[in-house]
Amino acid sequence: MQNTPAETEISFIEVGAAGAGRRIAMRVWRADKPSGQPTLVWLGGYRSDMTGTKAVEVERYAIERGTDCVRFDYSGHGASGGAFTDGTISRWLEESLAVVEHATKGRLVLIGSSMGCWVALRLIQELRKRGEGDRVAGLVLIAPAPDFTAELIEPNLSDAERASLAERGYFEEASEYSPEPNIFTRALIEDGRANRVLDGTITTGCPVHILQGMRDPDVPYTHALRLMEHLPADDVVMTLIRDGDHRLSREEDIAKMKQAIGTMLA
């Protein structure tokens, strides 16, 4: 009997130079027989981990389709090492590249959620710089939040939050998804400016499917529409879900996600 996603063994890789090393946890599913289909790679959101509903369902779908799947936790998340407050887009991008290099061969379908979409877009840029851009067969972006630090956080900072960033190096805000507050550091915000993707044309060289809820309280659907404006050369489809929230984890949302992934595997 095949393993279920909950039983997929955790493995670890070490990422980062001495003094900045961290242990990154992965769950890698290998199909029984080579299928020739791309590997599904899950890129989670801010403060989420690889045991979330969508991440597990991506692996279930890989099992159904007979292809490989990789899900992992960024440093400071889930089963990975490192402090969450040390996290930046550059740091999490470095880890994502290391996971792809270590755990995958051949073509990929990247599935990003929220901040994970930003990481996915930067990951493609870095692969293209290495001459490996053709490895990415498709992108599925769920409630995409590229450049969220510069576009959604900085313009809306209160005086108290600005003061906290200046004095303490971070500020906190209540989370709808956890009893613990969200923490946004000065390092994350400053590093975000260096990783912006909405400052020019984004070339992915592959089909892109965006899933966006119109009742998303965290990332307005207008942000996804703006992202589309920066993808003029790509085969881009957007599905707007009228009653969808930010998580898009309902059964009907998962079905749409799997349908989008399926078009990338065909």
Q: pLDDT tens, 45-71?
A: 999 999 999 999 999 999 999 999 999
Q: Which helix (H) or strand (E) holds 29?
A: strand 22-29
Give residue 4's pLDDT. 52
Residue 180 pLDDT: 87
Q: Say what the pLDDT of residue 1 is.
A: 37
- Collapsed DSSP state (helix, strand, coil) of residue 198: coil
Q: What is residue 67's three-state secondary structure? A: coil
Q: What is the pLDDT of residue 233?
A: 81
Residue 176: per-residue pLDDT: 82
Give the separation between CA 120 and CA 142, rounded to whole angstroms: 11
Question: Is residue 256 one of the residues assigned to a domain?
Answer: yes
The contacts of residue 130 (CB under 8 Å, 6+ apart) are none
Number of domains in the chain: 1
Q: Residue 93: inside a domain, yes or no? A: yes
Range of the domain at 99: 5-146+201-265
Residue 47 lies in a domain: yes
Give the pLDDT confidence score for residue 2 in this predicted structure: 47
Residue closest to 138 by CA, chosen among 107, 105, 113, 182: 107
CA 176/CA 189 separation, integer angstroms: 21
- Those residues of the chain that have pLDDT short of 70 are 1-7
CATH number at residue 84: 3.40.50.1820
**Residue 159 falls within a domain, yes or no?**
no
Write out pLDDT tens, residues 159-186: 999 999 999 999 999 888 888 899 999 9
Residue 167 forms part of a structural domain: no
CA dist 36 to 10, 170, 263, Å? 24, 46, 15
Domain assignment present for residue 187? The answer is no
Residue 154 domain-assigned? no
Assess if residue 191 is contained within a domain.
no
Report d(CA 230, CA 202) in Å as an integer.
Answer: 6
Give the separation between CA 108 and CA 103, rounded to whole angstroms.
11
pLDDT confidence of residue 70: 98
Only one residue has tokens 């779908």, namely 61
Q: According to the model, what pLDDT value does residue 6 have?
A: 54
